[in-house]
Amino acid sequence: MAHRKKHAPRHGSLAYLPRKRASIIKGRIRNWLDTNEEINFLGFAGFKAGMTHLTYIEDQENSPYFGKELMKAVTVIEVPPLILIGVKVYSKDEYGKFILGECFSLDINPNLLRKIKSPNSENYDLDSKKKDLLQKIDEFCEVRGIFQTQPYKISLPRKKPDILEIKVNSVDNPIEEFNFAISLLGKEVRARDVLFEGELVDVIAVSKGKGFQGPVRRYGIKILSRKNNKIRRAVACIGAWHPARVRYTIPRAGQLGFHQRTEYHKRIMKIGENEEEINPKGDFINYGKISGDYLLVLGSVPGPKKRLIRIRKTIRPAKSFNVKTPEITFVNRESQQRK
């Protein structure tokens, strides 16, 4: 019987460049898209807990499965409330964006002091800061909220929070947007206040790191014949004599994983508040119990468990998609240890 060679999965040679380690583990959002909705924040953040599956009734009329019961995999993301610790205002000129000013809450969470220094309450006049900013704000300004996460409220073994920046939805009235953000300064913002069941979002996260790998696993190149003299799991010809260098298009060994990735059009199936509805028997492996608010997102999400997941209102709106609350008929809660 002839021996069949096993080949590594194809990853696409030039799909993502450069394939290097992400600079920050919490992910970076470079662009936001304003919606036609009311003034609100355009994103949120949570922590990946694991995966399960559910059944629901397909409610999109353009789907061939419309009206039928489908079973799909979902990712469970725990979303403890974010605390709005500051408001930042950007302006724009011919050179790009620049910071016009910012206001910070004087009520700083003790765990946040592990990360930053609190403003001096004796010298920091919040009311005068607000008045100065309101006088400077013009039609070209952009308002963003500065949030802190609360990992100490969930199963994560750390207390130091992450600091995130989330844009306020623009309605062409920066003063109203600024007043909206200031009204929430120092308060908790929950996922249900920002996101809606059934809508499409983008998820931004850093993928699971796999270390230094060869070109077969990294790029999916062909394994050479057993008759090759020196190499089998490498590129035989790495380029022409001239130019006298190895081009970037040649698959080479290097870092695999721990890359920032953005996945578009992930549907929020459920925004839950009762952890008893989702915790499996024996808890989530390598995570533990859900202890508060959570999201069920259709499909997979980049990154390992406990990784911070950034959630953004989708930047590529689907024209033929109708936002409806899905009719979920079953959520799997069986033990993940197969016990």
Report the first-to-last Cα separation within the chain, whole angstroms.
40
Task: Give the number of other Cβ atoms within 10 Å of residue 310's Cβ.
Answer: 23
Residue 96 has pLDDT above 70, yes or no: yes
pTM reported for the whole predicted model = 0.91
Residue extents of the structural domains in the chain: 15-79+190-224+251-339, 82-189
If you classify domain 82-189 with CATH, what class do you get?
alpha beta
Q: Give the closest residue to 160 by CA, choosing from 288, 25, 258.
A: 25
Residue type for position 32: W
DSSP string spanning 188-223? EE-HHHH--TT-EEEEEEEPPP--EE-HHHHH-PPP
Mean pLDDT, rounded, of the chain: 91
pLDDT tens digits for range 239-283: 999 999 999 999 999 999 999 999 999 999 999 999 999 999 999
pLDDT score for 13: 60
Q: Which CATH superfamily is domain 15-79+190-224+251-339 in?
A: Translation factors (2.40.30.10)
Q: CA-to-CA distance for 44 and 143, rounded, in angstroms? A: 16
pLDDT tens digits for range 230-244: 899 999 999 999 999
Q: CB-based contacts of 233: which residues, under 8 Å, 6+ apart?
A: 214, 215, 216, 223, 224
